[in-house]
């Protein structure tokens, strides 16, 4: 017996699928399933996070609705996946944030932006907010660099801690049958599989949508978004290194590494989320977990806002709009950081952990 109704249903489906196995060539979920004859809560959460929601197994299934066996793996695993985020959230008290995630994220984002604007005005003379600041250290006239670095460093460290605790619980829960140890080979394989979104392609023909024509382009937009995010994060890191190691202060010239990478990343973070939201609206309702729409949208919008406000700041950094734009950008990024462990961001972490486990299982099977 399982802890929740959705895990009960996932167990029923995996029992059906394990006696069929026609889908084993489509992705990682079914080969992982075949390594088991019975499914614990942890096993099902592992399979749920291994699923990339491409939809192929639904379109290919002879037992999907209206068949009486009522097999809908993508939707069932999507619901189980969302519930697993709450189940592994740390600290436990914040697990509720996943229930009305859209609302929670919006409120935190609004609050965060407001605090930055208010802070800039309260600490500085109001005229500084609308003043024109250029040259090295221009941003820090609104907020001292050390304060900025400390605040964001602390937020990031907290996010990392909370995420690590969540993954730890997940990793323990999915321990069987190969145990919790892993190795560099499995990690590398998982990096490759995650980096190219290997399993978001319907077994090679593309992702499925409203009918059996693979027209879905989420993979492309996800690449824009993920690599956009990575470039932006890299820009921030390089900037921090410049500041402390080379004593070079932002803003940097347009050709400098943090700006180039931040700009490219920002473009990715604008195009990617727009594409993802568009594709999301077009997806066949039968395949998706309607309950998680708020969470998904909130995260995508946060990434979009991060990209847009960053690019706006770059464009108008030499004007009087710089102060408000900086407050807006920092507010959005701060909210993004502190909500990372309590929103859709965690999907990447858990899915990566599941891919590591899967790579390890494959190795052990072949040995």
Partner 1 sequence: MVDLTRRFDVLVIGGGNAALCAAISARRAGASVLVLEGAPKFYRGGNTRHTRNMRCAHDAATEILTGPYTEEEFWKDLLLVTGGQTDEELARFMIHESKDILNWIVEQGVRWQPSLGGTLSLGRTNSFFLGGGRAMLNALYRTAEELGVDILYDAEVIDLKIEDGMFLSAALKQPVGGRTEVRASTLVAAAGGFEANIEWLKQYWGEAADNFLIRGTPFNRGAILKMLLAKGVQEIGDPTQCHAVAIDARAPKFDGGIITRHDSVVFGIVVNRHAERFYDEGEDIWPKRYAIWGRLVAAQPDQIAYIIFDSSVVTSFMPTLFPPIAGATIAELAGKLTLDPAALEKTITEFNAAVQPGTFDHTILDDCRTEGITPPKTHWARRIETPPYLAYPVRPGITFTYLGTRVNRQARMLMKDGKPSANMFAAGEIMAGNVLGKGYAAGMGMTIGSVFGRIAGREAARNARN
Asked if 57 interacts with partner 1 (CB under 8 A), we say yes
Q: How many CA atoms lie within 13 A of 193 on its CB side?
A: 23
> Radius of gyration (Cα) for the chain, nearest Å?
22
Residue 103 CA to residue 255 CA, distance in Å, equals 39
Q: Report the residue count for the chain.
A: 367
- Answer for which of 63, 94, 227, 233 binds partner 1 (CB under 8 A) is 63
Cβ proximity to partner 1: between 11 and 289 the closer is 11
Asked if 7 interacts with partner 1 (CB under 8 A), we say no
Asked if 60 interacts with partner 1 (CB under 8 A), we say yes
Instruction: Please return the burial class of 365, using the count of CB atoms within 10 Å of its CB with bins 0-12, 13-18 and 19+.
Output: exposed
Cβ proximity to partner 1: between 39 and 139 the closer is 39
Asked if 16 interacts with partner 1 (CB under 8 A), we say yes
Q: How many CA atoms lie within 13 A of 27 on its CB side?
A: 28
Binding part of the chain for partner 1, among 84-92, 200-208, 270-278, 344-352 by CB under 8 A, reads: 200-208
**Phi and psi at residue 251, to the nearest 5°:** -70, 150
Residue 298 CA to residue 168 CA, distance in Å, equals 25
Binding mask 205-244 for partner 1 (x = CB under 8 A): x------xx-------------------------------
Cβ proximity to partner 1: between 67 and 172 the closer is 67
- Answer for which of 3, 5, 8, 21 binds partner 1 (CB under 8 A) is 21
- Answer for which of 10, 23, 48, 200 binds partner 1 (CB under 8 A) is 23
Beta carbon of residue 73, minimum distance to partner 1 (angstroms, whole number):
12
| Closest to 298 (Cα-Cα) out of 349, 350, 339 | 339
- Answer for which of 68, 127, 135, 245 binds partner 1 (CB under 8 A) is 68
Asked if 176 interacts with partner 1 (CB under 8 A), we say no
Residue 166 CA to residue 164 CA, distance in Å, equals 5
Residue 81 vs residues 25, 43, 341: alpha-carbon distances, Å: 22, 12, 15
Is 105 strand, coil or helix? helix
Is 216 strand, coil or helix? strand
- 23 secondary structure, DSSP code: T
Asked if 31 interacts with partner 1 (CB under 8 A), we say yes
Asked if 25 interacts with partner 1 (CB under 8 A), we say yes
- Answer for which of 2, 4, 20, 220 binds partner 1 (CB under 8 A) is 20
Is 252 strand, coil or helix? coil
Cβ proximity to partner 1: between 16 and 234 the closer is 16
Asked if 125 interacts with partner 1 (CB under 8 A), we say no
Contacting residues toward partner 1, per CB under 8 A: 15-16, 18-26, 31, 34, 37, 56-57, 59-63, 66-68, 203-205, 212-213
């Amino acid at each position: 017996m399982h802890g929740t109704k959705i895990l009960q249903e996932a167990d029923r489906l995996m029992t059906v699928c394990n006696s069929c196995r026609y889908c084993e060539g489509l992705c990682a979920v079914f080969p992982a399933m075949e390594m088991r004859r019975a499914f614990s809560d942890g096993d099902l959460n592992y399979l749920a996070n291994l699923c990339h929601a491409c939809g192929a197994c639904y379109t290919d299934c002879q037992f999907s609705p209206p068949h009486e066996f009522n097999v809908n793996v993508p939707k069932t695993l999507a619901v189980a996946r969302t519930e697993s985020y709450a189940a592994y959230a740390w600290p436990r008290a914040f697990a509720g944030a996943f229930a009305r995630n859209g609302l929670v994220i919006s409120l935190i984002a609004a609050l965060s932006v407001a605090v930055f604007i208010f802070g800039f005005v309260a600490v500085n003379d109001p005229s500084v907010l609308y003043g024109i600041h250029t040259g090295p250290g221009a941003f820090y006239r609104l907020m001292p660099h050390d304060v900025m670095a400390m605040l964001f460093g602390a937020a990031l460290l907290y996010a990392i801690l909370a995420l690590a605790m969540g993954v730890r619980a997940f990793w323990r829960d999915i321990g069987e049958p190969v145990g919790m140890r892993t190795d560099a080979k499995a990690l590398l394989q998982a990096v490759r599989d995650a980096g190219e979104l290997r399993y978001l392609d319907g077994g090679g023909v593309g992702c499925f949508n409203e009918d059996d024509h693979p027209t879905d382009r989420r993979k492309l937009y996800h690449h824009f978004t993920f690599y956009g995010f990575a470039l932006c994060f890299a820009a921030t890191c390089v900037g921090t290194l410049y500041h402390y190691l080379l004593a070079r202060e932002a803003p940097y010239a347009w050709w400098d590494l943090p700006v180039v990478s931040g700009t490219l990343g920002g473009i990715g973070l604008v195009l990617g989320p727009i594409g993802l939201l568009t594709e999301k609206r077009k997806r066949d309702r039968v395949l998706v977990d309607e309950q998680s729409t708020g969470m998904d949208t909130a995260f995508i919008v946060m990434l979009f806002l991060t990209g847009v406000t960053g690019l706006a700041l770059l464009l108008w950094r030499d004007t009087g709009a710089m102060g408000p734009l900086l407050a807006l950008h920092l507010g959005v990024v701060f909210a993004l950081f502190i909500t990372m462990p309590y929103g859709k961001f965690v999907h990447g972490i858990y899915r990566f952990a599941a891919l590591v486990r899967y790579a390890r299982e494959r190795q052990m099977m072949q040995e």
